[in-house]
Structure formats: structure tokens, C-alpha cells
Chain A
Amino acid sequence: EAGVTQSPTHLIKTRGQQATLRCSPISGHTSVYWYQQALGLGLQFLLWYDEGEERNRGNFPPRFSGRQFPNYSSELNVNALELEDSALYLCASILTQQGSGFFGPGTRLTVL
């Protein structure tokens, strides 16, 4: 069984640009969570998608957005990038009934 995949592995942008990060969950998993892991801050919850709908979002500004496609893959968009957006962005795929998450390797976003 393939694990959670994320792309790209690394992404370098400059301030003001937009970044798009992608996540493909494990087959059969309908829930996708996005997290930001900034240095020294642990995991910060960003967004939760289930069955194609946004179910919840964390305490992040609206320039962080995303969507979930019919095949349950997901996209995270960050507009008007700021230096402090530099972080590892993790996607978790969750089989709703089990509750435990499987994480992708992450996308390292660097904003210069």
C-alpha cells in the first residue's frame, strides 16, 4: 500500500509570490489534514478536508487556503508569501473511523 505522498519536496519562493503544495492520501482515506511545522513551534493545525469539503481551519490568515479533489487528493495554497511562512508543511491522511493519521514526508517551503 502506497503511503501519503507530497509534492514538491522543496519549494523556494520569494516574498509576495504564491505557493501550491500537493498531497495524495492513502487509498481509501477521505480525510486530509494540513499542518505547518515551523522551527521550534511544533505542529500547527492549518486545514482539515473531508469528503471534498473544508471541515475546519486553524488560526491562520485567509491567504492560506486549499481544496480537496474528488479523488481525495488535496492542495494547499499560500498567497502573498511572507518570510515567516518558511516551514515544513505536512499532510496527514486519516481513515475517519480509525482516527490515526499517516503523514507524508512534507514539503519544505523557503521564502526568501
Chain B
Amino acid sequence: GDSVTQMEGPVTLSEEAFLTINCTYTATGYPSLFWYVQYPGEGLQLLLKATKADDKGSNKGFEATYRKETTSFHLEKGSVQVSDSAVYFCALTEFDAGNNRKLIWGLGTSLAVNP
């Protein structure tokens, strides 16, 4: 079945370091891909998305490119800040054969950025 696999955390970085959180997926069709972020004590927020192959989603300095050939959607940021400390979730959504939307999540990767 469809699935999303994220790198296990926690990830601990120093401020201004480069961030990569890996995400790979399996899907039978042509999914849309998302990254969500959950800041401490808050609900989930959509961070960025890409709806087709080679699309690049970007927001708040974060980027992710939809790579169909490697079935990946890795999240990157060139210089992290303490305020980026959060849990990051990779997700995909697609319609199944019955035209029902499926929304499938990774388990989340915790990021801690130290000053």
C-alpha cells in the first residue's frame, strides 16, 4: 500500500547549520506531496507542497522538490534558526480507484536547533 517514510529523529543542529530531512514515498498513482510543521504546543501547519513531478515547494526558507524518479520529497533549509525547532511531517495525498482521497503521513522528525 501507499506509505511515507521519514528519517528518524531527533535531529539536533546548531543555528545557521544546513538542514535536510529525508522523505520517500510509495504510491500507486500521482500523489501530491506535503510537509507539515508542528511547533511546540501548537497544531500542525502546512509548510509547503508540490503537486506534480519536478515541482518545488518553498516557504519560510524551506524547500522541497518532488522527485518522481527517486520517489522523494526531501526538506531542506540553508540556515536553520532556533525558532525552526519543531516536528516536521511528510505526507502525501492521492485519490484511490474509488475516487476517495487518501492522506498518508510519515511518523514525523523532531528538529532541535541550539543557539
Contacts and interface: CB of A to CB of B under 8 A. Distances in A.
B108 A42 contact: yes
Given A43-B108, A99-B32, A99-B93, A105 B103 contact: no
Size bracket of the B interface: 20 to 34
Interface of A: 4, 31, 33, 35, 41-43, 45, 48, 50, 55-56, 90, 92, 94, 96, 99-106
8 contacts: A42-B108, A55-B100, A56-B102, A94-B101, A94-B103, A99-B51, A100-B34, A104-B43
Contacts of B43: 4, 90, 103-106
A105 B32 CA distance: 24
Nearest to A105: B43
A100 B46 contact: yes
Contact of B42 (A4, A99, A105): A105
Interface of B: 32, 34, 36, 42-46, 49, 51, 89, 93, 100-108
B115 to A, nearest CB: 27
B107 A42 contact: yes
A41 B100 contact: no
A101 B46 contact: yes
Given A55-B101, A99-B101, 20 more contacts: A4-B43, A42-B105, A42-B106, A42-B108, A43-B105, A43-B108, A45-B103, A48-B101, A48-B103, A50-B101, A55-B100, A56-B102, A99-B32, A99-B49, A99-B51, A99-B103, A101-B34, A101-B103, A102-B45, A103-B44
